[in-house]
Structure 1
Amino acid sequence: MRWTLQSKPEKEQVQKLQNELLVDEIIATLLVQRGITTYDQAKTFFRPTLDDLHNPYLMKDMDKAVSRIEKAIANGENILIFGDYDVDGTTAVSLVSSYLKSYYPNIATYIPDRYDEGYGISYKGIDYADDNGISLIIALDCGIKSIDHVAYANEKNIDFIICDHHRPGNELPNAIAVLDPKRDDCTYPYDELCGCGVGFKLIQALAENRNQSIFDLIPYLDLVATAIAADIVPITGENRVLAKFGLEVINSNPRPGIKALVQNVKKKVLTITDVVFIIAPRINAAGRIKHGNEAVALLTEFDLEQAEIFASEIEQHNADRKDLDKQITVEALAQIENNNEKENFTTVLYQENWHKGVIGIVASRLTETYYRPTIVFTKSGYKLAASARSVKDFDVYNALEACAEHLEQFGGHMYAAGMTLKEENYQKFKDAFEKEVQKTIHPDLLIPEISVDLEINFSDINPKLIRLLSQFEPFGPQNMTPVFMTKNVKDTGYAKPLGKDNEHLKLFVKQNGSEGFGAIGFGLGNKLESTKNQKPFDAVYCIDENEFNGNVTIQLRLKDLKN
């Protein structure tokens, strides 16, 4: 692991903020590192309010979208809410459909089948709309590149409103409205919304039109927070506001579907991390193993007993997904070993019978193991389909764009993407992708990095610091849990391995006679030798509170250590 200590901001800037906020240097430094340099910015950061949300009509085409929906309602038209099968898509469909259904009955939902139709707007979905007398489709979390599909719908007199957050191509679809803050000609103040976030801006605009306030929309924020967490978008600006208030809904009064998913969780207060690891995989499992419709059914169900039945079915899908993911990861690792590809700049693998629903998870696992931009392919009909995952600071989407001549289609973000290609183009693409990454990636990016915010001493750690750090939540991209480094640390003789394979490490550490802290290092069992006989070492860690039998103590969550 390479440790990268963030450069300290200008001392004057830190001192000014210290004086304005009456906080210590550590807190002021962390804030300035996050771009918060004034009292007002800090107030917005620590005390976000729903008033901080932008006017939805600042988004390009929002007026057209609202006008077309209101016209459809006035004329009694049938409206189809169409979305992708992942967490962002299914929460977005649940959000917009349940809001519209609260005052208009002619609403249907459609999630494409991952295996039969693939990602995004499908001809089958448009035919379904045509067969059922639907004249308006609202597409969520997809559609920004669906030029041919929208043209096909137009021929059938079906209008489209597209709500997406992916990067547009050179041409936009010929839809009634295209809501996407990443459009070059859109001046909306915040462009990091997820698909469900764009859907929320749409219902916010519709609500304004119906004289509803933002407070009427609070019950929908559990869905938005779930999508923000799952889609790994920056938790800054509007996303921070939506995530904070959405988490409050999840913890106080969630919809029955989310309540059913978390009712066996023992934690009193769920964080964004809990949403990522507990709620999101289960919602995702429906589309991975069975069908995304099951996730929408769960998230739009208002009877708790029925929601519990749906949740138990999804729990089974999640268990099946875990088994598949383990099995395919083992096969993929063996393929890398057998092909002698460990020295490559990329990992690109293909096996025709790998389950399409879990190749994205497998790509993530391989990226953790070999720390390379990774693409995992499987057979999908007459083509190959793949999921890509990247390493920190490398834009895999740009690399795919450079190899686009070998692909049928692709889409996604800097760190995750999906694509299809013809089987005969697989090797050409693999070679081109390896060459492109080799040419453009900095060698340092192929070594896992721990970004350290600040070097501190154990004497700096106290309950007041922890209380203020807790107010930095919710954590996520661009507002990660602060990571500290402390030098010349010693274990007091309590070091021991934990876990069935001794893969974890438990310590009790001190620095220069300071108060000692319990420390846990997940996956650091191999570092036990470095801590023996009171050998001094440097530690990189996050500060947690550990609750056991009603007692709360400070605990360091070690990320790495070295002598």
Structure 2
Amino acid sequence: MRWTLKPTPNTITTTALAEQLNIPIKIATLLVQRGIDTFDKARQFFRPSLEDLHDPFLMKDMDKAVSRINTAFEREENILVYGDYDVDGTTSVALMSSYLLSHYSQVATYIPDRYAEGYGVSYKSIDYAHDNDITLIIALDCGIKAIDKIAYAKKLGIDFIVCDHHRPGSELPDAVAVLDPKRPDCKYPYNELCGCGVGFKLIQALEQVKGLPVKTLIPYLDLVATAIGADIVPITGENRVLAFYGLEVINTLPRTGIKALIQNIKKDVLTITDVVFIIAPRINAAGRIKHGLHAVELLTEQDEVLAQEMAASIESFNAERKDLDKLITVEALEQIKFHKEEKRKTSVVYQENWHKGVIGIVASRLIETYYRPTLVFTRSGEKLAASARSVKGFDVYEALEACSDHIEQFGGHKYAAGLTLSETQYEGFKNKFEEVVSSSIEDRLLIPEILIDSTLELEEITPKFYRILRQFAPFGPGNMAPVFMTKNLIDTGYGKCVGASDDHLKCTVTQMKSAVQIGAIGFNLGDKCSLIANKKTFSAAYSLDLNEWNGNVSIQLRLKDIQE
């Protein structure tokens, strides 16, 4: 584990900001590191407002999309809302279909089958639309690369509106409107929206044309916040506003389906982390194990009893998903050892009967053991399909582009992608991917990094400091929970390994020449117990959270690593 301390920003700027806001200098430092260096930016950061959302019509083709939907209403056309089978796709479909159905009855939904159709727009869905006299398809979280399929739909008299956030290829699909802030010719001020976020901008535009304010759409923001968390997009700019209000909805008046999913969670306030680790995996499990439509049905269901039955089914899908990903991870690790590939710069594994629905999770699990760009392949019909995951700082999408001679189809992001190829190309691809990564990745990127925002003395951890720090939430990429480093720590004598297998480290620390004592917990740091024994001094990298025990609440260090 390597520790990297972020550069200290300009002291004149941080001192001025600390005085203006009446906050500790360390808090001002954290703000300036995040690009928040004026009073107005700080106001926007600490008080997210729906008024700060951009005009949706700044997005290229938004006027065309709104016009085409309103024409469909006037002509009484049948509309199909189409989305991918992951969390971003299913929340997008739930958002768009429920919004349209509140104004118009002739709306159907479609999620492709992960196994029969694969990712993105499918020919089968277009044939389904044609057979059912559907003349407009709104594709969400996919479509930006569906050149041939959208051309096929056009021949059948079916129009497409694409709402995507993935990188476009060299050619855009021939759709009525292509809404994607990553289009090179789109001047929209914020290009980090998720697919559900782009869908939200479309319904915001539809409301705006009717003269209605954006606050009428607040009930949809639980879906948007869930997609933002699950898709790991930066929680900056518009995403921060949407996530902030979406979490408020989740915590106060969530839709019936989300309420059913979280009814057994013993927490007063859910954070974006809870969304990522509790809500999102369950929504995802439907598409991984059964079919993504189960998730859409749950997210649009208004009857509480039915929603609870659906949530129970999804809970069982999630339990099955957990069992599968544990089993496949063990098999994949064995395969790496069997082929003596521990020293490579990449992990590429394949077994034809691995469950396609969990290979992305398995890729992430493998990175926990071998910290390097990873692909997990399985058979999908005649082809092999893979999920790719990367390590911080390395663009796996670009690496896959360099291997395109071996690939039939691929798409995704810097850190996560999917692809298909012919089985005859597998060995060639595996060798080429290793060659590309080996020649381009810096060795330091193959060592997990803890990025430390600031050094901190224990005396500085006061209730006021923590109270302000909590207002930095919601946390996520672009605004991660601050990580601090404190040197010259000593265990007060209560340090021990805890957990069934002594996996975790629990202690109470003080600093040399300090009277302050504070509790600390380090999950999966049980092997570091010896570093704190016998009053040895050590350094800790940690974030801050609250420890609640027997009705007492105290600030504690959530240890990420310790060093001598």
TM-score by length of 1: 1.00
Cross-structure match for 2:55: 55
CA distance in 2, matches of 1:312, 1:238: 34
Contact (CA 8 Å) 1:458, 1:514: kept in 2 or not?
no
Aligned partner of 2:72: which letter?
A
The alpha-carbon deviation at position 496 of structure 1 amounts to 1.0
Contact (CA 8 Å) 1:5, 1:454: kept in 2 or not?
yes
**Which runs of 5 or more structure 2 residues have no equivalent in the other structure?**
none
The alpha-carbon deviation at position 24 of structure 1 amounts to 1.2
Q: How does 1:60-99 map to 2 (within 5 A)?
A: 60-99=60-99
Cross-structure match for 1:441: 441
CA distance in 2, matches of 1:119, 1:549: 48
Deviations 1:364-396 (A, max 9, x none): 000111100000000000000000000001100
The alpha-carbon deviation at position 210 of structure 1 amounts to 2.1
Cross-structure match for 2:360: 360
Q: How does 1:78-157 map to 2 (within 5 A)?
A: 78-157=78-157
Contact (CA 8 Å) 1:95, 1:200: kept in 2 or not?
yes
Cross-structure match for 1:510: 510
Deviations 1:242-297 (A, max 9, x none): 00000000000000000000000001000000000000000000000000000000
The alpha-carbon deviation at position 212 of structure 1 amounts to 2.1
CA distance in 2, matches of 1:41, 1:392: 28
Cross-structure match for 1:348: 348
The alpha-carbon deviation at position 109 of structure 1 amounts to 0.2
Q: Which moved more, 1:6-15 or 1:307-316?
A: 6-15
CA distance in 1, matches of 2:415, 2:83: 21
CA distance in 1, matches of 2:459, 2:22: 19
Q: How does 1:312-331 map to 2 (within 5 A)?
A: 312-331=312-331
Secondary structure of 2:352's counterpart equals: coil
Cross-structure match for 1:272: 272
Secondary structure of 1:28's counterpart equals: helix
Cross-structure match for 2:401: 401
Q: Which moved more, 1:325-334 or 1:544-553?
A: 544-553
The alpha-carbon deviation at position 345 of structure 1 amounts to 0.5
Deviations 1:16-60 (A, max 9, x none): 211221111100000000011110000000001000000000000
Pair 1:542-2:526 in alignment: no
CA distance in 2, matches of 1:216, 1:12: 43
CA distance in 1, matches of 2:247, 2:393: 28
CA distance in 2, matches of 1:543, 1:163: 38
CA distance in 1, matches of 2:303, 2:549: 35
Cross-structure match for 2:526: 525
CA distance in 1, matches of 2:211, 2:237: 25
CA distance in 1, matches of 2:86, 2:179: 20
Pair 1:562-2:563 in alignment: yes
CA distance in 2, matches of 1:6, 1:254: 38
Cross-structure match for 2:218: 218
Deviations 1:211-237 (A, max 9, x none): 222111000000000000000000000
Contact (CA 8 Å) 1:234, 1:476: kept in 2 or not?
yes
Cross-structure match for 2:552: 551
TM-score by length of 2: 0.99
Contact (CA 8 Å) 1:384, 1:423: kept in 2 or not?
yes
Cross-structure match for 1:423: 423
Aligned partner of 1:549: which letter?
N
Deviations 1:302-356 (A, max 9, x none): 1111100000000000000000000000000100111111110000000000000
CA distance in 2, matches of 1:368, 1:68: 47
Contact (CA 8 Å) 1:218, 1:249: kept in 2 or not?
yes
Aligned partner of 2:28: which letter?
A
Aligned partner of 2:173: which letter?
P
CA distance in 1, matches of 2:24, 2:324: 49
CA distance in 1, matches of 2:550, 2:123: 57
Q: How does 1:301-312 map to 2 (within 5 A)?
A: 301-312=301-312
The alpha-carbon deviation at position 448 of structure 1 amounts to 0.3
Q: Which moved more, 1:400-409 or 1:81-90?
A: 400-409
Pair 1:432-2:441 in alignment: no
The alpha-carbon deviation at position 499 of structure 1 amounts to 1.3
Aligned partner of 1:545: which letter?
L
The alpha-carbon deviation at position 439 of structure 1 amounts to 1.0
Cross-structure match for 2:461: 461
Contact (CA 8 Å) 1:84, 1:141: kept in 2 or not?
yes
CA distance in 1, matches of 2:86, 2:96: 16
Aligned partner of 2:165: which letter?
H
Cross-structure match for 1:262: 262
Contact (CA 8 Å) 1:56, 1:205: kept in 2 or not?
yes
Pair 1:172-2:166 in alignment: no
Cross-structure match for 1:250: 250
CA distance in 2, matches of 1:538, 1:411: 42
Q: Which moved more, 1:209-218 or 1:365-374?
A: 209-218
Aligned partner of 1:301: which letter?
E
CA distance in 2, matches of 1:542, 1:457: 13
Q: Which moved more, 1:504-513 or 1:110-119?
A: 504-513
Q: Which moved more, 1:513-522 or 1:126-135?
A: 513-522
The alpha-carbon deviation at position 548 of structure 1 amounts to 2.0
Pair 1:378-2:391 in alignment: no
The alpha-carbon deviation at position 546 of structure 1 amounts to 1.2
The alpha-carbon deviation at position 545 of structure 1 amounts to 1.1
Secondary structure of 2:451's counterpart equals: strand
Secondary structure of 1:181's counterpart equals: coil
Deviations 1:58-104 (A, max 9, x none): 00000000000000000000000000000000000000000000010
Aligned partner of 1:555: which letter?
Q
The alpha-carbon deviation at position 514 of structure 1 amounts to 2.9
Pair 1:237-2:214 in alignment: no
CA distance in 2, matches of 1:209, 1:257: 30
Cross-structure match for 1:16: 16
Aligned partner of 1:203: which letter?
I
Aligned partner of 1:502: which letter?
D
CA distance in 2, matches of 1:534, 1:264: 42
Aligned partner of 2:140: which letter?
L
Pairwise CA RMSD: 0.6
The alpha-carbon deviation at position 551 of structure 1 amounts to 1.5
CA distance in 2, matches of 1:359, 1:406: 20
CA distance in 1, matches of 2:209, 2:104: 15
Deviations 1:94-119 (A, max 9, x none): 00000000010000000000000000
Aligned partner of 1:127: which letter?
D
Q: Which moved more, 1:508-517 or 1:178-187?
A: 508-517
Secondary structure of 1:474's counterpart equals: coil
The alpha-carbon deviation at position 549 of structure 1 amounts to 2.6
CA distance in 2, matches of 1:55, 1:230: 25
CA distance in 1, matches of 2:227, 2:141: 11
Aligned partner of 2:427: which letter?
Q
Secondary structure of 2:553's counterpart equals: strand
Contact (CA 8 Å) 1:235, 1:475: kept in 2 or not?
yes
Structure 1 outlier segments of 4+, above 6 Å: none
